[in-house]
Amino acid sequence: MREQAIADLRQLLIAGLHRGLLRRVRGKRGEFGSMAEDFVQEALLKIIDKLDSFRGESQFTTWAHKAAVRMALTELRRKRWRDVSLDLLVGDEDDPKEIQLPDPARSAEAETAREQLIRALHRYINEELSAKQRHALMAVSIHGVPLEVVAQKTGSTRNALYKLLHDARKRLKLKMEEDGYTAEQILQVLA
């Protein structure tokens, strides 16, 4: 009976992943089919392991499907960055335009303040951070590479990378405060 329930759930999850994620995958349907099988297998293991955390606030299949989709999206994101060199993401260290921030309609004064902050931030990144901190910060914070991927590519652990990024951000914050930037100014310019 348990095996049949797992087999039925597996079929529901595979169908759901095909409907929900196929358009996100570049490539052939056949390739996604094998990926979906892997995603569902991993999801089933986690779902079975976490059965006691199901609170009944939704249908069980909705809860299970959400877990499978979350796992699949995480794996797709990792796969996207698997063959990308972190060195390519850092780019030209002398070009402050490498750091792109959101640019909603702003006044000329706000735009000037934003550009000055970007230049200062770029200078701080190059002068205050170690090469390892700089590479990690650019990859994770600027280019959006997942922590797990950067950790794997640098031969580090996720926790060690998190600590490295924490220290880098702390160093940048201290330097900016030392040079007269307040948290409110920084947030105002970045917002």
**With bands split at pLDDT 50, 70 and 90, how would you rate the model's confidence at 32?**
low
Structural tokens at position 184 = 């409110």
- Among the ranges given (72-76, 110-114, 139-143, 171-175), the one the predictor scored with the smallest mean pLDDT: 110-114
Domains assigned to the chain: 2-81 (1.10.1740.10), 86-190 (1.10.10.10)
Give pLDDT, residue 30.
58
Q: What mean pLDDT value characterizes the chain?
A: 77
- Residue 139's Cβ-count burial label (10 Å; 0-12, 13-18, 19+) is buried
pLDDT of residue 188: 62
DSSP per-residue string spanning 131-181: HHHHHHHIIIIIT---HHHHHHHHT--HHHHHHHHHHHHHHHHHHHHHTT-
* CB-CB contact of 25 with 31 (8 Å): yes
